[in-house]
Amino acid sequence: MMENLSDRYVLDVRNLKVHFFTDTGVIPALDGVDLWVRRGETLGLVGESGCGKTLTARAILRLVPEPGRIMDGEIYLTGENLLVLPEHEMRKIRGDRISMVFQEPMTSLNPVYSVGNQIMEVLTVHRSAMTGKEKKERVIELLKAAGIPSPEQRFFDYPRQLSGGMRQRVVIAMALACGNPQLLIADEPTTALDVTIQAQILEMFREIQDKMDMSILLITHDLGVIAETADRVAVMYAGTIVEYADVVKLFKRALHPYTLGLLKSILQTPQVRARRRLHTIPGAVPDFLDIRNKCRFFSRCAFAHKNICGQEEPEMIEVEPGHLVRCARVEKIEEHRRRV
């Protein structure tokens, strides 16, 4: 896993650790995260709320909120380690080489400025040589490309005047304002949108990616979105990656007990007349202050063995090319799969 991937991958994150220093102790919110995103592909980062998906995105951009701190790791963008750059160099990268679509567009947009002026602000920071007229023309072009009707009029609208789907399109236009980012991080881009608008947003991502040959890190808890959009999937649990596979392999041969639980929870068809409970993952996410020297999923796992899983955290193992699992009980899980 330590081969030189930076020449082949747009994003190469290695052993990323983020700790939060609180009055109750040091919380290892991210503990050894590894991610690789190829040029032109979509990597889906999936997991339940609170597992560290958004924090991973913020760490890539070096925007970890206080009292958090990046403690270790390397983050390469096309071979350049972002963690050693001075802050003024990182400001040039944010919004230009790396863009991000945040989870809730209403919190990403300033309610007292028109959407056109807010997109122009990105161009003012990163494309200062452009004239005011050129910036406005560029913004109208972006709004049109994002599927916003009458962009010349919408330029003057305020966020409150737009629907949720339209606001999300504005945020996407803002993320692409500088031209052709190498990496787009999309954090729950379809949350709170109806199914029709969600499909339109996902289709827009595909079109933009094909046109720009751009890499996308798609953060979501929705495995349906992953199945439609992603090329490869990284499953996150309690601040670490527990399974890595291409999207077809993950749905056909998931091997980590947490991934199996996620898939069962969405693949089981509810039946009103049947007196059968829907599948749930028992227990709760562990206390981050008490996860050392054991598997993080230990207390919730049906395959756990106290003398194996309760003594040390398992290493990531490659079960087949491109399919990695952080579990010491893979053989037992495979045996169970064959029986059922």
Give residue 275's pLDDT band: very low, low, confident or very high (50, 70, 90). low
d(CA 226, CA 259): 13
Q: Which pLDDT value is given to residue 274?
A: 54
Average pLDDT, the chain: 87
For the chain, give the percent of residues with pLDDT over 70.
94
Q: Which pLDDT value is given to residue 273?
A: 55
pLDDT digits (tens, 9 = 90+) for 104-145: 777 778 899 999 999 998 888 888 788 889 999 999 998 988
d(CA 232, CA 43): 5
Give residue 288's pLDDT band: very low, low, confident or very high (50, 70, 90). confident
Residue 74 token pair: 């390397």
Asked whether the predicted pLDDT for residue 218 surpasses 90, the reply is yes
Asked whether the predicted pLDDT for residue 258 surpasses 90, the reply is yes
24 half-sphere exposure, CB direction, 13 A CA radius: 6
Q: Which pLDDT value is given to residue 290?
A: 74
Q: DSSP state, 104?
A: -
Can you tell me the mean pLDDT for 98-104? Answer: 85
Q: Which pLDDT value is given to residue 2?
A: 43
Q: Which pLDDT value is given to residue 75?
A: 96
Q: Which of 61-75, 115-129, 187-201, 234-248 shows the lowest mean pLDDT across its residues?
A: 187-201
Can you tell me the mean pLDDT for 80-93? Answer: 93
Asked whether the predicted pLDDT for residue 72 surpasses 70, the reply is yes
d(CA 202, CA 283): 33
228 sits in the region (left: phi over 0; alpha: psi -120 to 50; else beta) called alpha
Q: Which pLDDT value is given to residue 267?
A: 62
Q: Which pLDDT value is given to residue 7?
A: 58
Asked whether the predicted pLDDT for residue 305 surpasses 60, the reply is yes
Asked whether the predicted pLDDT for residue 247 surpasses 80, the reply is yes
Give residue 155's pLDDT band: very low, low, confident or very high (50, 70, 90). very high
d(CA 298, CA 74): 28
For the chain, give the percent of residues with pLDDT over 90.
49
The closest alpha carbon to 183, from 27, 92, 255, 78, belongs to 78
Query: Considering the entire predicted model, what is its pTM?
Result: 0.89
73 contacts: CB under 8 Å, gap ≥ 6: 13, 14, 15, 16, 17, 32, 33, 83
**3-state SS, residue 81:** strand
| Long-range CB contact pairs, 147-153, < 8 A, 24+ | 147/200, 147/204, 148/173
Can you tell me the mean pLDDT for 63-73? Answer: 94
Can you tell me the mean pLDDT for 203-220? Answer: 90
Q: What is the residue-wise DSSP string for 254-294?
A: --SHHHHHHHHHHHSPP-SSS--PPP---S-PPPGGG-TTS
Other Cβ atoms within 10 Å of 246 Cβ, number? 15
Q: Which of 227-236, 249-258, 288-297, 309-318 shows the lowest mean pLDDT across its residues?
A: 288-297
Asked whether the predicted pLDDT for residue 193 surpasses 70, the reply is yes
Phi first, then psi: give them for residue 89, nearest 5 degrees. Answer: -75, -35
Residue 274 token pair: 């049947």
d(CA 253, CA 95): 37
